Amino acid sequence: MAAVLWLLAVTLLPLCYGGRLSVSTQKLEIQNHLKQLNKPPLKSFNSPDGDIIDCVHISSQPAFDHPLLKNHTVQMMPNYRPQGGLFGDSKAVKRKSSKPMTQMWHSNGRCPKGTIPIRRTQGQDLLRASSVKSYGKKQQRTIPQPPKPAAPEPSFISQSGHQHAIAYVDNDKYYGAKATMNVWTPRIEQPNEFSLSQVWILGGSFDSDLNSIEAGWQVSPDLYGDNNTRLFTYWTSDAYQATGCYNLLCSGFVQISNEVALGASISPISSYDANQYDITILVWKDPKEGNWWMQFGKDQVLGYWPAMLFSYLSDSASVVEWGGEVVNSQSDGQHTTTQMGSGRFPGEGFGKSSYFRNIQVVDGNNNLRVPKDVTTFTEQSTCYDVRLGKNDDWGSFFYYGGPGRNPDCP
């Protein structure tokens, strides 16, 4: 008996001690990471969705923690904006929507000039991540690689259960992209899954040194702790390995707007066979400084990714993709029921299926153009599909999305 007790004590004591040690280490790690991410605010707001929005002085933002940006002077305006192209208005959408797109936190105040609104990261956000360091980063290898001309079948970077329904171009040099995307709240089956709709601007090779700039809307319970539709950005310069993150969750993106918070909830949301809402996103490379700028809506310039963050993209992009991505974790051995877009297939059309309209690219002369030779891609069209179209009101457009699991997608 004594021997058994002794054995128990010997085996359990180190476990208890080790456990306590790692809890306090984790606490410390969380505190340090929060201190790194959350800069001292001049003013803060509670948003109705539970977020805290901090108004941080523009020169105190996370970007300036980046070793390459230590002496960086903030550009308050792009030198050039892309010329021409189609505008984001649409007769069909005007008839079907009434309210302008806003962010929820605006109902409780605004950030003063000279500051930028930042969604505060809280301890519970970090606790949801698989590790403190991985919070705000995409899992590696989540981009569909367009088929090579030589290969009959598309080859994928995507091995980890990510599913896409996209339109893309990959036969030119691109200096930006624009799209107006329908906004929905797709249902997410598992908290570690997400559903997003976005534009990808890509350069480099897909396996090791891919440069990517991404922007759109997403529903991601693990990242934000709820099922709200949120505006987001992402960047990486090494195929999602060491560099890059969502929003301002690492240093890199330089924000100048005091109106729009990255990662904050947007509203209103489209409803099935009722009001439709969309957001317009434009990303382009400033021909003078080489920085990649982002504009939200008609004229809200959010900020830029400094040219020095990238290798390939410091020249131009070789691929532009638009569309949806979901994580299919197959937690119960079946395909996920996580929705993409509105959760409806393209065949249902306007008001029911989600759309991207007026998709455009920026050419070498800084002009917006209707893209040539747009191609589509989806891993399993019976789960999520995409269908291209073209008309005067919507230019080049497509419907995309689907319900995930259904009798044809078991």
Ligand X SMILES: *[C@@H]1O[C@H](CO)[C@@H](O)[C@H](O)[C@H]1NC(C)=O
Is 214 designated active site?
yes
Residue 379 falls in the annotated catalytic set: no
What's the rounded Cα separation, in Å, for the pair 292 and 17? 50
Burial of 100 (0-12, 13-18, 19+ CB in 10 A): exposed
What's the one-letter identity of residue 248?
Answer: L
Position among 56, 188, 327, 383 found at the interface with ligand X (CB under 6 A): 188
Shortest distance, CB of residue 187 to ligand X, whole angstroms?
A: 5
- B/e letters for 18-33, b = 16+ CB within 10 Å, e = fewer, are eeeeeeeeeeeebeeb
> Whose Cβ is closer to ligand X: residue 156's or residue 305's?
305
Site string for ligand X, 129-168 (x = CB under 6 A): ----------------------------------------
Q: Is 119 helix (H, G, I), strand (E, B) or coil?
A: strand
* 349-378 residues near ligand X, rule: CB under 6 A: none
Site string for ligand X, 237-276 (x = CB under 6 A): ----------------------------------------
Q: Is 128 in the site for ligand X (CB under 6 A)?
A: no
Residue placing its CB nearer to ligand X in the complex, 49 or 348: 49
To the nearest whole angstrom, how small is the minimum distance from the Cβ of residue 226 to ligand X? 5
Alpha-helical segments (H) within 158-239 = 221-224
Q: x-or-dash pattern for ligand X, window 10-49, by CB under 6 A?
A: ----------------------------------------
Assess contact for 386 and 320: CB atoms under 8 A. no
Q: Annotate each residue in 216-235 with x if it binds ligand X (CB under 6 A) or - if it does not, as one string.
A: -----x----xx--------
Nearest to 118 by CA among 294, 215, 293, 262: 262
Cα(172)–Cα(202) distance, integer angstroms: 12
Distance CA 12, CA 370 (A): 67
Q: How far is CA 161 from the centre of its chain?
A: 18
CB-nearer residue toward ligand X: 290 or 297: 290
How many chain residues are in contact with ligand X, going by CB under 6 A?
8
Which of 189, 214, 259, 348 is labelled catalytic?
A: 214
- Dig out the tokens for 287 from the structure: 């021909």
Q: Which of 289, 325, 348, 379 is catalytic?
A: 325
Distances (CA, A) of 204 to 233, 311, 312, 317, 365: 19, 8, 6, 8, 22
Q: Which of residues 54-83 bind ligand X (CB under 6 A)?
A: 68, 70-71
Shorter beta-carbon distance to ligand X: residue 224 or 240: 224
Catalytic residues: 214, 325
Please give the residue ranges that form the binding site for ligand X (CB under 6 A): 68, 70-71, 187-188, 221, 226-227
